[in-house]
Amino acid sequence: MPIRGLLFSAILLTSVPVCFFRPAYGIFLWTVISFANPQAFVWEARELLPWAWLVAIPTLAGMVFFCGNWWGRIMRPKALMIMIL
């Protein structure tokens, strides 16, 4: 695997625990992975892991554990519009 793939994998895999403890960072990282699609520029990393799932699961788990009143935050109109998008 070229250095580009190793660097991409190292950055994302070290960011996964941060997504659990800081769900806002996880939402930002998931947005970057989903819309900017940086794994498409790293040929080996595209098929290696489902990167969006790898970020989304700890983010949602961290939201349940560390965010108080998380159900109320999800049901806000702005959050619902983003989910519909």
Can you give the pTM of this predicted structure? Answer: 0.72
The stretch 6-23 carries a mean pLDDT of 89
- Tell me: pLDDT of 57 over 80: yes
- Tell me: pLDDT of 31 over 70: yes
The stretch 38-55 carries a mean pLDDT of 79
CA torsion sign for 79, 50, 38, 63 is: positive
Angle between helices 51-66 and 3-21 (to 10 degrees): 20
Q: Of the candidates 59, 3, 12, which has an alpha carbon nearest to the alpha carbon of residue 36?
A: 12
If one counts every other C-beta atom within 10 angstroms of the C-beta of residue 2, the result is 11
User: What is the model's pLDDT at position 18?
Assistant: 94
pLDDT tier at 1, thresholds 50, 70, 90: low
User: What is the model's pLDDT at position 56?
Assistant: 92
Tokens 């098929």 found at:
47
User: What is the model's pLDDT at position 51?
Assistant: 85
User: What is the model's pLDDT at position 70?
Assistant: 66
